[in-house]
Chain A
Amino acid sequence: ETGVTQTPRHLVMGMTNKKSLKCEQHLGHNAMYWYKQSAKKPLELMFVYNFKEQTENNSVPSRFSPECPNSSHLFLHLHTLQPEDSALYLCASSQDQDSSYEQYFGPGTRLTVT
């Protein structure tokens, strides 16, 4: 596979469930990102990892927990979510965090919390 992949593409979960989103990049990049995209709103940066170290956490509720075991993989662990957490969750990667290089996005996971 090439580029950035995300699984699952669609997820429906209840507020008491625990699930994980997975992202993998095959580009040899060192920075990975989680974004939340809600309808008609700007992309919201959630977390940034640079060389496997978390460098940004934009006041994200603790019910979202990221994990970056290596530079190619990024997870977002979800538990006790709220209906307002329903959105498209996008993963992205770039050469590194502090460069002019563009970010490459995965296709996203469409999350619905019931």
Chain B
Amino acid sequence: GQNIDQPTEMTATEGAIVQINCTYQTSGFNGLFWYQQHAGEAPTFLSYNVLDGLEEKGRFSSFLSRSKGYSYLLLKELQMKDSASYLCAVRDSNYQLIWGAGTKLIIKP
């Protein structure tokens, strides 16, 4: 079967750095996405990785290792508004997105 694993919940302090991990086992691989979802709102796109390595976008970076079936989302200089759920999704060989259950990130002052 296909599976995406990510921690259920994480807590971090304002101004700090946090890394959210995602491991996957899918039928084929055609890219990995990270989305942010605030409570009661739509998921919004954060990043896309298809090749190994680090993609940086301001305070957010995403890393991919295809050989290890592993990705992480790195958030720097945490702000209270970063409190949200972070969803990892992998596009499989049929170009269907397989989603993780999401990681709820709680930021404390």
Instruction: Return chain B residues, CB-CB under 8 Å to A27.
Output: none
Residues in B whose Cβ lies below 8 Å from that of A102: 33, 45, 48
- Per-residue 0/1 for A87-114: is the Cβ within 8 Å of any B Cβ (1 yes, 0 no)? 0001000000111101111111000000
Q: Do the beta carbons of B50 and A104 come within 8 Å of each other?
A: no
**Given B30, B31, B91, B99, which contacts A43 in the complex, CB threshold below 8 Å?**
B99
Chain A residues with Cβ below 8 Å from B42 are 4, 90, 105-108
List residues 55-98 of chain A with CB under 8 A from any CB of chain B. Answer: 56, 90, 97-98
Which residues from chain A contact B89 at a C-beta distance below 8 Å? 43
Q: Are A100 and B101 in contact (CB under 8 A)?
A: no
By a CB distance below 8 angstroms, the chain B residues around A105 are 42-44
Q: With the chains together, A108 CA to B97 CA distance in Å?
A: 18
Minimum distance in angstroms from B53 CB to a CB of chain A: 16
Identify the 5 closest CB pairs spanning chains A and B, nearest first: A105-B42, A102-B45, A43-B99, A42-B99, A98-B95
